[in-house]
Amino acid sequence: MTEATDDEPPDDGHHVLVSWLSPTSFSARYEWGKQHPWAAGIWFATIMFLFSAFLVPALIGTAASLRLRLVVGLIAWVLSAVLFPLGLKYRTGERPDAESYPVPTHRRMWSRTSDRLLFWLLLVGVGGLVIDAIDLFTRSRPAWSAMLGLGVSGWLAGTTGAERRRRRRRQRPTDVVS
């Protein structure tokens, strides 16, 4: 055990001072989430509250009252605040040997994701592309909403598809001419 100076608190193994603000770097944020799963869960839950209470109703054009939207958002907040940290703790959706792969970055955010989850995320992205394209052409919802959905679905399908291609390329044996 080292002696504490005036600038730093003593290191007694108990981390009382939790940094509630996540780092700006994607890889540092990933490690911060692993170290502080409950703080990361509260941030994620807050984003899910805003998403489910305000953005989703605007996207689908519902006439639901503000009270109903806030109740739905609060339910989403509670579920997210509990399930997100548990998913981090039990490494849900990660490869079994995730530590042997690079830390996720903006360019390669799915590097530690399991192959099964990548497959399902790719299907969700492609399905969203089809549904949003149909919505755009049939005008069943506002054009800005369908365009936003196309962008998000395209991003999801593109990034997960790129990661799957990287993995397949790495698994193929190289042709050696003897």
User: 158 and 116 share a domain?
Assistant: yes
Mean pLDDT of 156-175: 85
Question: What's the confidence (pLDDT) of residue 5?
Answer: 53
User: 54 and 117 share a domain?
Assistant: no
Give me the chain's average pLDDT, please: 83
* pLDDT surpassing 70 at residue 1: no
Question: What's the confidence (pLDDT) of residue 136?
Answer: 92
* pLDDT surpassing 90 at residue 125: yes
User: 81 and 43 share a domain?
Assistant: yes
* pLDDT surpassing 60 at residue 4: no
* pLDDT surpassing 90 at residue 118: yes
Question: What's the confidence (pLDDT) of residue 116?
Answer: 94
Helices (H) and strands (E) in the chain, counts: 6, 0
**The domain boundary residue, chosen from 73, 92, 111:** 92
Mean pLDDT of 95-102: 86
* pLDDT surpassing 80 at residue 84: yes
**The domain boundary residue, chosen from 92, 112, 139:** 92
User: 54 and 15 share a domain?
Assistant: yes
User: 16 and 57 share a domain?
Assistant: yes
Question: What's the confidence (pLDDT) of residue 10?
Answer: 52
Give the contacts of 63 (CB within 8 A, at least 6 positions apart): none
User: 105 and 87 share a domain?
Assistant: no
Looking at the domain assignment, is residue 177 inside a domain? no
User: 57 and 132 share a domain?
Assistant: no
User: 27 and 64 share a domain?
Assistant: yes
Alpha helices in 109-176 (DSSP H): 115-138, 143-171
Number of structural domains the chain divides into? 2
User: 84 and 117 share a domain?
Assistant: no
Q: Report the residue count for the chain.
A: 178
* pLDDT surpassing 60 at residue 177: no
Name the residue range of residue 34's domain: 1-92
* pLDDT surpassing 80 at residue 157: yes
User: 113 and 47 share a domain?
Assistant: no
Looking at the domain assignment, is residue 178 inside a domain? no
Q: How far apart are CA 122 and CA 129, in angstroms?
A: 11
Mean pLDDT of 119-137: 95
Bigger pLDDT: 99 vs 121: 121
Point out the least confidently predicted range of 11-15, 48-52, 58-62.
Answer: 11-15
The SS3 of residue 52 is: helix
* pLDDT surpassing 90 at residue 170: no
Q: How far apart are CA 127 and CA 85, in angstroms?
A: 28
Looking at the domain assignment, is residue 140 inside a domain? yes
Question: What's the confidence (pLDDT) of residue 173?
Answer: 65
